[in-house]
Each structure stands twice: as C-alpha cells, then as structure tokens.
Amino acid sequence: MPTTKERRKAWGELSGYKEELRQRNASIIREFQKGYSMKHSAEKYHLSIHAIKKSFTSNTKSAIVER
C-alpha cells in the first residue's frame, strides 16, 4: 500500500544521510572560519571547490569570498 505524502519521509531522513551531509557541511564551515582554505576542504572531503562553495551558500545563505 503506497504511503500518503503526509506520512512520507523526506530524502535522506530514513537512512540518516541528510544529517551526515549537514554535519559534514558544518565541519567545512568551521574549518573555513579557523582559516583553512576552500582548497584544503575540497581535498580533505574529496569535493570540488564548487561543491564547497555550495555548502556555504546552502548553510549560511550568504556568499563567501574564496580565500
């Protein structure tokens, strides 16, 4: 029996992956605030600089100038 939209879980909630990404993005932002470069975070987390920038704008809702 299909579930209704009201009872359906959002993407990543059942597996916990959504929370994992939220924690990773928060770590990236904390590292940047401590003075680490976006390039450092990109290499550490195996992401592109573009993906690192997206984690800032999705979490802080403001543009960050690359260091």
Residue 65 has pLDDT above 80, yes or no: no
Is 41 contained in some domain? yes
| Tally of domains in the chain | 1
pLDDT at 40: 95
32 domain residue, yes or no? yes
Whether the pTM exceeds 0.75: the reply is: no
The answer as to whether 35 is a domain residue is yes
Please check whether residue 12 lies inside any domain of the structure. Answer: no
Q: What is the pLDDT of residues 19-61, one digit of tens each?
A: 999 999 999 999 999 999 999 999 999 999 999 998 887 765 5
Is 49 part of any domain? yes
- Classify residue 8: in a domain, yes or no: no
pLDDT reading at 62 higher than 50:
no
Positive or negative: CA dihedral 55, 58, 60, 64 = positive
Higher pLDDT, residue 41 or 67: 41
Which residue range is the domain that position 39 belongs to? 17-58
Reference 25, options 4, 7, 47; nearest CA is 47
In a domain, 24, yes or no: yes
